[in-house]
Every structure is written in C-alpha cells, then in structure tokens.
A and B are shown apart, each in its own frame.
Chain A
Amino acid sequence: MEHDVTKTVRLYMAVFGGLLALTIVTVWAASWETATGLGVVLALLIASTKGTLVAGFFMHLFSDRFPLIARVLVFSAVFFVVMVVLVFLGFVDSFGANRAPIGG
C-alpha cells in the first residue's frame, strides 16, 4: 500500500469520519431508546460496526490477510463466545435460578 500514499490517507480519513459519525449516532440513539431490548441491540450493533472499522482498516485486517493471524483470531473469538454463552447458560439453567442461583 505504500505505492499510493494519498489514497491510503484518504481511506484512513474516511474511516476516521465514519467513526466520529457513529459515535454521535450511538449517543443520540441512546437518548431516545435507553435500556430496552432494542436500545441494547442498536448500541452493540453500532459498537460492532466501529470495531470492525478499526480492526479492518487501522489494524489492516482487510488489506493484508494472513491466514495465520486470522486463524488465531478465530480461535480466540470462538473461545470468547463459548465462555460468554456457556457461563450464561450455566447461570440461567440452574436450580432456583429465577432470582439468583445458589450463592448469588
């Protein structure tokens, strides 16, 4: 990518603009849609989009694809999801779980 510096710079600036815009959107969205299911989904969607922008462009995951690094990240992503989901399920599916499980 060093052969076309101006293009890269323009790309980074566009991503930066996008991130700023999404920051404003998320604050604005939260001001009328708080703490409901939709609000949570919306906020996390926006955050994920921003995260993808950072990881994809600033961290070059989109431009230089190395299967090795992608594989490592897939591993950790899978284990992260496993941790969240299984711990959560263990929490929900427990005797006396309606309020809080034993000890909680």
Chain B
Amino acid sequence: MAEIEIPYNSTNHPDTGVYNAKLGIWLFLASEVLFFGALFSSYILLRVGAGGTAGDWPLGADLLNVPLATFNTVVLISSSMTMVMSWASLKSGNFDAFQRYFGATIGLALLFLLVKGLEYYAEIFHQRYPSTSTFLATYYTMTGIHALHIIFGVAVNAYHFVSAKRLYAEEPERFTNRIEVAGLYWHFVDLVWIFLFPVLYLL
C-alpha cells in the first residue's frame, strides 16, 4: 500500500468538468494574478510617486534595448504556440509531433533566457544596476521574477520531455493532462511578458 488512488486525478469530475490538477493550476494562476498584480501596482505607484516628469522616470526605450526585447517577445509567443501545438498533437495521438513541438518549446525558452541574459549583461556593462534608480530597480525586479518563472517552467517541461516516453506509455490520458497543465502555466508566463514588454520598454 504505497500509494492510494485519488479520485478525479486523470478523469473529469462530472459536476465541475475538470480534473484535479487543472483546477489546481488555475487556482495557482489566480494567485499569480495577484502576485504580478502587486508588482504592476507597485510599478504604477512608484512611477506616479516619481512625479511623472520625464526626468524622474526615464523612458524605457532610452535605457533598454527595444529590438532585442521585441525579438524576445516573438520568441516567447512562438514558444507558447509550440506548447499548445504539442498538447494538440498528443490529443490527436501523434507522439512524434508532440516531441518535436515540445522540444521546440524548451529550446525557445532557453533562447529567451539567453537573450535576457545578454540584455542584463549590456545593462550592467553600462553600469546600470538595480540600485541606480527606481526605474532600473523595477525593471530588474519585474523581469527577474518573470525569468525565474521561465526557469521553473523550463525545469518542469524538461522533466516531462525526458520522461515523456515512459509516462505516455503508462498512462497516455494522464500524461496529456499533465502537458495541458504545464501548458496553462507556460501560457500564463507568456501572458505576463506580453504586459511587461510595453510597460517597461515602450512607455
């Protein structure tokens, strides 16, 4: 009796229409909304508190690399697309296509982190540190916390990528659900970046 059977672990509950992990991840994402919400809220207050004149709050484009960030936005959106495609492939039973798309998702995420690292490197090279100004502090904190989310996502996805064959062979239904849950998290991280990009770089 090592493990016990938890109801609705891989099947949908007749009343709620979801399996446990799907409800769980959505609850987690709900708390993430408040988490990033607090970050954006702090951003607004610090910016308003800075007086609103250009001198107090620099334009992101003057300090940050907009082309690189635009490229990164495209990378992240693409990884979101490959993520949803990998899930759709599993749904239609095409395991090979799943592996290709899923591998691409992880690869794109790593590319995103690499570009982000280059951006940080350039900022630090120009002696713009978190302690330099409140704008830079906000920038480093928001993008840094977002990057931590990316790293966590990569770790989860890498685990599933490595053990995909075994997990899929054992319980295809459950594995498809796991990929859906991982996908929901991944899309959310993408969604956060969609807001971070204009707020920090363009406004």
What is the minimal beta-carbon distance from A2 to any residue of chain B, in angstroms? 5
Cβ-based interface call for B33 (8 A): yes
Contacts A66-B18, A80-B34; is A73 near B61 (CB within 8 Å)? no
Q: Which of A23, A59, A64, A91 contacts B187 (CB 8 A)?
A: A59
Cβ-based interface call for B95 (8 A): no
Q: Which of B17, B26, B202 contacts A26 (CB 8 A)?
A: B202
Alpha-carbon distance A16/B197, docked complex (angstroms)? 17
Q: Which of B48, B187, B199 contacts A58 (CB 8 A)?
A: B187
Alpha-carbon distance A91/B48, docked complex (angstroms)? 9
A80 touching B195 by the CB < 8 A rule? no
Alpha-carbon distance A44/B194, docked complex (angstroms)? 10
With CB as the reference atom, state the residue of chain B lying closest to A72: B30
A76 touching B38 by the CB < 8 A rule? no
With CB as the reference atom, state the residue of chain B lying closest to A101: B49
What is the minimal beta-carbon distance from B140 to any residue of chain A, in angstroms? 21
Residues of A within 8 A of B38 (CB): 83
Residues of A within 8 A of B77 (CB): 16, 19-20, 23
With CB as the reference atom, state the residue of chain B lying closest to A92: B48
Count of interface residues, chain B, beta-carbon cutoff 8 Å: 50
What string of 1s and 0s marks CB contacts (under 8 Å) between A1-45 and chain B?
110010011001101100110010011001000110001100110
Alpha-carbon distance A30/B61, docked complex (angstroms)? 9
Chief secondary structure at chain B's binding surface: helix
Count of interface residues, chain A, beta-carbon cutoff 8 Å: 51
B30 touching A73 by the CB < 8 A rule? yes
Give the interface centre of B23, B190, B198 by most chain A CB atoms within 10 Å: B198
Contacts A12-B85, A50-B194, A55-B187; is A43 near B34 (CB within 8 Å)? no
With CB as the reference atom, state the residue of chain B lying closest to A45: B198
Alpha-carbon distance A100/B46, docked complex (angstroms)? 10
Residues of B within 8 A of A27 (CB): 66, 70, 202
Contacts A5-B88, A30-B202; is A76 near B30 (CB within 8 Å)? yes
Alpha-carbon distance A26/B194, docked complex (angstroms)? 11
Alpha-carbon distance A80/B61, docked complex (angstroms)? 28
Residues of B within 8 A of A55 (CB): 187, 191
A58 touching B80 by the CB < 8 A rule? yes
Alpha-carbon distance A69/B76, docked complex (angstroms)? 25
Q: Write 19 A-B pairs (CB below 8 A) sorted by A numbering.
A: A30-B61, A34-B203, A35-B203, A57-B84, A58-B81, A58-B84, A59-B184, A59-B187, A59-B188, A66-B16, A66-B17, A66-B18, A68-B17, A73-B26, A73-B30, A76-B33, A84-B37, A84-B41, A88-B48
Residues of B within 8 A of A (CB): 16-18, 22-23, 26-27, 30-31, 33-34, 37-38, 40-41, 44-45, 48-49, 51, 54, 59, 61, 66, 70, 73-74, 77-78, 80-81, 83-85, 88, 91-92, 183-184, 187-188, 190-191, 194-195, 197-199, 202-203
